[in-house]
Amino acid sequence: MSLILIHTDRFAEHQTPPGHPERPERAEVLDAIAGRWRGRGTEVVAPREATREQLLRVHDADYLRRIAETAGRATALDPDTYTSPESYEVALLAAGACVDGVERVMSSAHRAAFALVRPPGHHAERTRAMGFCLFNNVAVAAAHARALGARRVAIVDFDVHHGNGTQHIFEADPTVLYVSTHQYPYYPGTGAAEEIGRDGGRGFTVNLPLEVGAVDDDYQLAFTRIVVPVVRQFEPDLVIVSAGFDAHERDPLGGMRVTTPAFAAMTRELRAVADDCCRGRLVAAVEGGYDLQALGTSLDGAIDALAGDVQPAAWPSSGIRSSRGDEAVAATSAAIRGFWNV
Ligand SMILES: [Zn+2]
């Protein structure tokens, strides 16, 4: 009953064009972190490829066929999203790592799992690759947890970008809660507070659009006032985390000012909810994070938050709040009134 890391050095084999931020060097950071935690006695296992059946729960058959056809070829799927000859297999391993984490945690073999993967997944739509993402790793994981008997799955996404794919895949589904903090307005354009899901899934999408420049204190406010209370009230059987580190102050894509210790604090908050709701069952997967140093230190802190004994979240205080954090929390609170008591 402890933390397991799921990782393979094959994640470096997904090549992107020179200058692309989602570059193979990110996999070297993941390799180094996996090696360090293995050295400290944490179990690290290699993933299996996700199966067609697992992928079909969130992607359509025609899309799977189109991605499979990229095997052995370098292609551009959209202006940001490329394949190299190995990308199809590597993407299957990334989704499979998240599935593997779900199986280990749902079977209580381990309390928590962290999938150290690339390419990321949360922009991938049911029928479309987008934003560096081929398969929606976390959505595949959530659907797998449901297939294994989880009644309710909460996905929390703290990547600086909104997870449009994850939101759209589950927006009509009340059994999968999607909660996202993200820079807004920003790529991919979705994620307004008013987007709360549709049909039977109304209320089960919760967006916290934060203005560019948000600091640790804004994230602390968002987590303690909205993210944690909503997930706690949802009473999930599993918490899944889209762990993107591109809200870091050093990140070349994101415009936020989050510091390294805040990523550990966010993860500790989510671990505490999982401990209270579902015996600690939590599966995290790497999404973005494009400054190699910030990715390494922030991911290390997030893993540390899931390893060892429970400790209270230690939020760093910058002493400044962009003041817009309060407005974002107020907008989200108003949008989800009647669904959640926040
Ligand atoms: Zn991102």
Ligand 1 centre and the CA of 131: distance in Å?
8
Interval 118-164: pLDDT, tens: 999 999 999 999 999 999 999 999 999 999 999 999 999 999 999 99
Q: How far apart are CA 247 and CA 260, in angstroms?
A: 10
Backbone torsions φ then ψ of 285, nearest 5 degrees: -135, 140
Given 123, 161, 182, 248, which residue is catalytic? 123
Whether residue 303 is predicted with pLDDT greater than 60 in this model: the reply is: yes
DSSP state of 152: -
In this prediction, residue 200 carries a pLDDT of: 98
Least confident of 64-78, 223-237, 292-306, 319-333: 319-333
Q: Residue 282 pairs with which residues in a beta bridge?
A: 112, 239
Tell me the pTM. 0.98
Query: CA angle at residue 225 from 281 to 255, to 5 degrees?
Result: 90
Judged against a pLDDT cut of 80, whether residue 251 lies above it is answered with yes
Output the pLDDT for position 320.
78
* 62 alpha carbon – ligand 1 mean position (Å): 26
Cα separation, 208 vs 200, whole angstroms? 21
| 296 Cα–ligand 1 center, Å | 15
Known catalytic residue at 123: yes
pLDDT digits (tens, 9 = 90+) for 192-215: 999 999 999 999 999 999 999 999
Could you tell me which residues come within 8 angstroms of residue 126 by beta carbon, excluding any fewer than 6 positions away? 58, 59, 60, 63, 165, 168, 169
Measured in Å, residue 272 CA sits from the centre of ligand 1 at 24
pLDDT, tens only, 62-119: 999 999 999 999 999 999 999 999 999 999 999 999 999 999 999 999 999 999 999 9
